[in-house]
Amino acid sequence: MNSERENADTTENAVVIPFPRRSTNDATWIYRQSGHRTRSRRFVGTVIRVGGAEGRRLRRELASITADLLRWAAQQQRDEATDENQERAA
């Protein structure tokens, strides 16, 4: 007796979405994050070169995001230093 669940698990009913084909010239990056309390993770991506107006727009956006992150990191360091100084003074 076949149930609907058993029928759904067969390869005949599977929807297969293939990964896009990569050129052998595409640059690939890999980042491995070692886990201490959790398991390790591995991130992989492909670099897609973008030029022209779209490339300029993406570079401006990336530069803006990077600047925001650097300002945030600098503020975090100042806040931590202030907290440490207040603890020493107390």
pLDDT in tens, 10-28: 667 777 777 667 666 778 8
- Whether 79 maps to a domain, the answer reads yes
Q: Give domain status of residue 61, yes or no.
A: yes
**Residue 66 and residue 63: Cα distance in Å, rounded?**
5
Average pLDDT over the chain reads 82
50 found inside a domain: yes
Domain assignment present for 2: no
11 domain-assigned: no
Whole-number pLDDT of residue 1: 47
- Picking from 74, 56, 54, the residue whose alpha carbon sits closest to that of residue 64 is 56
Domain-embedded: residue 82 = yes
Range of the domain at 50: 18-89
Longest dimension (CA), the chain: 77
Mean pLDDT of 68-86: 91
Structurally, the chain folds into a number of domains equal to 1
* 57 or 24, which is more confident: 57
The answer to whether position 9 is within a domain reads no
pLDDT in tens, 31-46: 998 877 778 888 888 8
75 against 3, higher pLDDT: 75
User: How many CA atoms, within 13 angstroms, populate the side-chain half-sphere of residue 72?
Assistant: 6
Q: pLDDT-derived band of residue 53, with 50, 70 and 90 as boundaries?
A: very high
Residues whose CB is less than 8 angstroms from the CB of residue 29 and which lie 6 or more positions away in sequence, other chains included: 44, 45, 46, 47
